[in-house]
Amino acid sequence: MIPISNPSARSAPPPTQTPATASTDRTSTLSAQNTTLDRPARHLDSASRTAVRLQDVTKDFGGGVLGLDDVSLEFDTGTITALLGLSGSGKSTLLRHLNGLQRPSAGTVSVLGHDVASLRGDSLRSLRREIGVIFQHFNLIGPMSVLENVCTGRLGSLKGPRLSLMMYPKAVRHEALDKLDRVGLADRAFQRADTLSGGQQQRVAIARALMQHPRILLADEPVASLDPVSARGVMSLLQEISAENRLTVVTSLHQVQLAIDFAERIVGLRSGRVVLDQSTEGLDAAEASQIYTSVSGIGPTGLGSPDGQDDGDPDHGHGGHA
Ligand SMILES: Nc1ncnc2c1ncn2[C@@H]1O[C@H](COP(=O)(O)OP(=O)(O)O)[C@@H](O)[C@H]1O
Ligand SMILES: [Mg+2]
């Protein structure tokens, strides 16, 4: 066991954790949380396999801009779906509807059996605890240690402020170290977060999200700031974690190849409309090239540059692209 209160322990071997151990921990911690928190009903949508359902969802931003235009989709529990589309096609808007950062102008969004638009206050916060989010720019606190950044993933379930690592319960610190180990960074626990590479920072952000024990993970352009090798590493990690935890992952991406290699399904958006929805299984090169054309409308030359736009939405939380 690493004495996580002691930074000199950095050189100690990281703890090992099998997926089986992780799921046991998850169950015990969740039931502990359930005794103190008003969590949403833990049942799935009526189909029981469906984690997320959008029905006829339109988001009208005014001025003729439809962020989403009559979108109906379901995301099955434990699957990874890639949202593809040019900048402005509605990917972030769709993701924001899943955790209630935005509400539909028409239609319904149902997540883990809850009609998101009907939730307010505590019930909305409870649902959000079930939904981890990662961002293009990681949104770590740079000067803070890696381990403390991971611990902040539990803040939504703890009462009162935590002004230093030692203010987190020991069990939380240990679990954070386990999560860091899971993403391959236990040896960086006491390093400043802003001294890590982009790929490492995104892994820390994933470890932080896992501290919520999420059932859904939303990832808005998670690899758009990374080099190709780090990008594949992060996507591969998301794939593994999804399989281990039956985590439903919805991620926006710009590269068709990454979507094909790491997602089970591709949903293409154009001007807020779903223009493509297909399994990635057995896709050949010609079909992949057709995907570029479908979502961009401009032929297989790529999907344009990653978007850096921020819409200034007042309820746009976390200061990131989600
Ligand atoms: N809060 C907002 N207010 C007005 N228009 C918005 C807002 N958020 C997004 N939009 C518009 O909705 C469309 C979809 O945006 P977005 O979901 O950010 O696309 P993507 O993530 O695919 O780049 C764009 O035309 C964008 O300008
Ligand atoms: Mg976006």
Which ligand has the minimum distance to the alpha carbon of residue 220?
2
Residue 213's Cβ-side half-sphere holds a number of Cα atoms within 13 Å equal to: 19
Does residue 62 sit in helix, strand or coil? strand
pLDDT tens sequence across 56-89? 999 999 999 999 999 999 999 999 999 999 999 9
Q: Which residues line ligand 1 (CB under 6 A)?
A: 61, 65, 67, 85, 87-93, 307, 311, 313
Averaged pLDDT, 136-151: 96
Sign of CA pseudo-dihedral 4, 10, 15, 19: positive
Q: Given a cut of 60, is residue 20 above it in pLDDT?
A: no
Which ligand has the minimum distance to the alpha carbon of residue 66?
1
Measured CA to CA in angstroms, residue 245 lies from 18, 22, 122, 200, 213 at distances of: 12, 9, 25, 21, 9
Close Cβ partners of 301 (under 8 Å, ≥ 6 residues apart): 292
User: Which residue is closest in CA terms to ligand 1's atom 26?
Assistant: 88
Substitution candidate for ligand 1 out of 68, 93, 98, 270 with most atoms within 8 A of CB:
93
Query: Residue 299's pLDDT is what?
Result: 60
User: Contact 151/162 with Cβ under 8 angstroms?
Assistant: yes
Query: pLDDT over 90 for what percent of the chain?
Result: 68
Output the CA 320–ligand 1 centroid distance in Å.
14
pLDDT tens sequence across 96-129? 999 999 999 999 999 999 999 999 999 999 999 9
pLDDT category at 48 given cuts 50, 70, 90 is low
User: Contact 164/143 with Cβ under 8 angstroms?
Assistant: no
Query: Residue 270's pLDDT is what?
Result: 94
CA separation for the pair 16, 29 (Å, rounded): 19
Substitution candidate for ligand 1 out of 58, 60, 61 with most atoms within 8 A of CB:
61
Substitution candidate for ligand 1 out of 311, 313, 316 with most atoms within 8 A of CB:
311
Sign of CA pseudo-dihedral 125, 108, 279, 83: negative
| Crossing angle for the helix pair 170-182 and 19-36, to the nearest 10 degrees | 140
Query: Residue 153's pLDDT is what?
Result: 95
User: Which residue is closest in CA terms to ligand 1's atom 8?
Assistant: 311
Output the CA 24–ligand 1 centroid distance in Å.
40
Output the CA 206–ligand 2 centroid distance in Å.
19
pLDDT tens sequence across 249-270? 999 999 999 999 999 999 999 9
